[in-house]
Amino acid sequence: MRIPVLVLLPLLALGSWGAQSLVARLTGGAAAAEALDLAGLPPGPGRDAVYYTCRACHSSRQFVQQRLSRDEWDALLTEMVKKNGMAEPEPWARTLMLAYLTTHFGPPDDEYGGLPTAPGQEETFGICGACHSIRLVTQQRLTRADWDETLVWMVEEQEMDPLEPEDRKLILDYLATYYGRDVPR
């Protein structure tokens, strides 16, 4: 069943009545709703609006590689409306979209080598960046198990100090979330 983006956008921008709920209502199945991954976009308020607005014309890889400020994202949305015929998002939906895009795809935080701001950022930067460029981490896309193996290898073969269990879990959660195999570059 195809539903026009203009019909979906006001419904999907509301986090509590989002894409998974819509899929469940349209298909009658929670399992189908759970299977929807929204092209690997990180969770957060505005994700549904970004997904259904931007993915109407672009692959997620085209826009998640951008690292733009809020003003730059705003200008890009304006350009898409004026030059490319995109429907103008409602003001509240635009605000959600801009907050989401800036949070997840804003300019890199130079203090932490461009690692996304989230729990585990500082620990990951400190542990990984102590021995090599943080770029070595950010270019990887590994499963959680592969990241875990990498940490074991670093301790056993590269003389990295063993991590405290809570720090290890925090770093693994961070790496799997932001540099997992299915995370778009």
Is 13 inside any structural domain? yes
Asked if the structure places residue 53 within a domain, the reply is yes
Same domain, 33 and 88: yes
Question: What is residue 15's predicted lDDT score, i.e. its pLDDT?
Answer: 43
Q: Which of 91, 107, 123 is the last residue of a domain?
A: 107
Domain that holds residue 95: 5-107
Would 51 be classed as within a structural domain?
A: yes
Q: 142 and 170 in one domain?
A: yes
Residue 142 φ then ψ, to 5° = -120, 155
Model confidence over 27-65: pLDDT tens digits?
Answer: 444 444 444 567 778 888 888 999 989 888 888 777 777
Per-residue confidence band for 10, with pLDDT thresholds at 50, 70 and 90 = very low
Q: Indicate which CATH number applies to the domain containing 117.
A: 1.10.760.10
- In angstroms, the CA 47 to CA 15 distance is 8
Structural domain count, the chain: 2
In a domain, 126, yes or no: yes
pLDDT range class, residue 109, cuts 50, 70, 90: low
Q: 8 with 56: CB under 8 angstroms?
A: no
Q: How far apart are CA 116 and CA 174, in angstroms?
A: 9
CA geometry: angle at 40 spanning 37 and 45, to 5°? 80
